[in-house]
Amino acid sequence: MISTCLSGIGGWLSAPLFLVSQSLGSMALKAFAGIVVGGFGNITGAVIGSILIGLVESYSSLFTSVYRDAVVFLVLIIVLLVRPQGLLGERISEKA
């Protein structure tokens, strides 16, 4: 219990130094977008999809820094419309 309290106090004191904030949850959404773009069940596809999403976000910030998240999710929507299983995902036959 003492070590938990000490680590909590240490995190609270070091958070302003390392720019930690509560709004880091948007990274989880972009990670999910990278996995979906690459394809579920394929680790190589998830890595490639995440790199692709990172590159799209970086290059979209050159043109507009306000809508860079919207551009990332627009790419996600386009990939889901064109290839729903992801770029490297396998097509699963429907059982119904």
Residue 51 pLDDT: 93
Residue 56 lies inside a defined structural domain of this protein? yes
- Domains held by the chain: number: 1
For residue 33, the one-letter residue type is A
Q: What is the mean pLDDT of residues 28-54?
A: 88
**Global pTM value:** 0.67
Judged against a pLDDT cut of 90, whether residue 67 lies above it is answered with no
Asked whether 15 and 22 are in contact (CB, 8 A), the reply is: no
Residue 80 lies inside a defined structural domain of this protein? yes
Residue 18 lies inside a defined structural domain of this protein? no
The two tokens of residue 50 are 């995440």
Residue 5 lies inside a defined structural domain of this protein? no
Q: What is the mean pLDDT of residues 52-80?
A: 89
Range of the domain at 41: 23-89
Residue 49 lies inside a defined structural domain of this protein? yes
